[in-house]
Amino acid sequence: MQLWFARDGTISIRNQLVTQLMLAIASGELAPGRRLPSTRALAKRFQLHPNTVSAAYQQLQDFGWVEPVRGSGVYVRARQNSSGELQLQALDRLALDFLRGARSAGLTASAARTRLDHWLGLRPRRFIFVHPDEGLRAIVCQELRQSLAWAVLCIEPEAAKLSPFASDSVFVTLPSKHAELRAILPAGTEVVALQVRSVGRSLARYLPVPPEVLVVIASGWSGFLDIARTVLTAAGYHPEAVLFRDTKVEGWTRGLAASSAVVCDVLTAAAIPDRIHKIVFELVSDAAIAGLKAYERFYGA
């Protein structure tokens, strides 16, 4: 389960958590009988105060969405309401939170309606992945295109190149570039920070590499090769058991057939014959893909 929090103080973290959990239950993402994460686990994962999570769970219990089981945890409650009724309740909760936030900010109902109409009138139909590293951009965009229905573009972080897409796109980048990208885009533009997998943790599953097994690490992104080299060196691999191939170098495919496996990214995998065993590591996490698919469902893929 993926959650997002705006920490600007406009809407309390507790209300944001309650609303998102209600929507998850109403949509069926959290099915009846599903156990919610413990207060401590949820607080640690999303850097929240445990008391905030506890208060949110209590509020959900008061609303009848969840029920505690002594000694076991908090579970999604089986409800008699139809799915449509649950969704309407969740939307009502969202609308009330929005109106309270607008009122607290000193806005009028007319102003709130105008801005809400503006945002609901938007119809984004593409994701734009923005990052200065060309090799990384190519890999991430290929992964996104394989999983998403919307078009995916790759653009470097230059305001002049991004501004034509600001009104009808959702921008995507890595967490380390999130603040930088926001700074060059118009206020209010959707910017999503992608959660990525740990290449090091993924490679660790195959360690140690036996000296008699020849493995090739292949990628056109230097970062992939550098991380793999660091992890394998720390694991004490035999220098003759692992070969590194930069796909930008001519002749990089020579000798691949003699290897036991080729560890590579999605772009490199497409260039390797099927007869060769490939271990493909995707950089974008499943949670990040699920978050982007939620945009497609909301606006209509």
- In the chain, the number of structural domains is 3
Q: pLDDT tens per residue, the chain (301 residues)?
A: 678 776 766 678 888 888 888 877 876 778 888 999 999 999 998 889 999 999 999 988 887 888 999 889 999 987 655 555 666 666 677 777 777 777 787 878 887 777 776 666 667 789 999 999 999 999 999 999 999 999 999 999 999 999 999 888 999 999 889 989 999 998 778 889 888 876 666 666 666 666 677 888 999 999 888 888 777 766 666 667 788 999 999 999 988 888 888 989 999 999 998 889 998 888 998 888 988 998 888 777 5
Regarding whether 233 and 176 lie in a shared domain, the answer is: no
Provide DSSP, the chain: -------SSSS-HHHHHHHHHHHHHHHTSS-TTPBPPPHHHHHHHHT--HHHHHHHHHHHHHHTSEEEETTTEEEEPP--S-HHHHHHHHHHHHHHHHHHHHHHTT--HHHHHHHHHHHHH----EEEEE-S-HHHHHHHHHHHHHH-SSEEEEE-S-HHHHGGGTTS-EEEE-GGGHHHHHHHS-TT--EEEPPB--HHHHHHTTPSPPTT--EEEEES-HHHHHHHHHHHHHTT--TTTEEEEETTSTTTTTTGGGSSEEEE-HHHHHTS-TTS-EEEPPSB-HHHHHHHHHHHHHH--
Q: Report pLDDT for 42.
A: 92
CATH of the domain at 162: 3.40.50
> Which amino acid does the sequence have at 80?
Q
Regarding whether 79 and 100 lie in a shared domain, the answer is: yes
Query: In terms of C-beta distances under 8 Å and separation of at least 24 residues, what long-range contacts does 37-40 make, across chains too?
Result: 37/1, 38/73
Residue 7 counted as domain residue: no
Residue 81 counted as domain residue: yes
> Which amino acid does the sequence have at 167?
S
* End position of a domain, from candidates 120, 150, 176: 120
Regarding whether 106 and 21 lie in a shared domain, the answer is: yes
Regarding whether 82 and 30 lie in a shared domain, the answer is: yes
Identify the domain containing residue 40 by its residue range: 13-120
Residue 2 counted as domain residue: no
Q: Report pLDDT for 119.
A: 64
Residue 3 counted as domain residue: no
Regarding whether 64 and 205 lie in a shared domain, the answer is: no
Q: Under the phi-then-psi rule, with left for phi > 0, alpha for psi from -120 to 50, and beta for the rest, what region is 188?
A: left
Regarding whether 116 and 39 lie in a shared domain, the answer is: yes
Regarding whether 293 and 176 lie in a shared domain, the answer is: yes
Residue 6 counted as domain residue: no
Regarding whether 188 and 156 lie in a shared domain, the answer is: yes
Regarding whether 24 and 50 lie in a shared domain, the answer is: yes
Regarding whether 104 and 26 lie in a shared domain, the answer is: yes
Q: How far apart (Å, rounded) are the C-alpha atoms in residues 206 and 47? A: 31
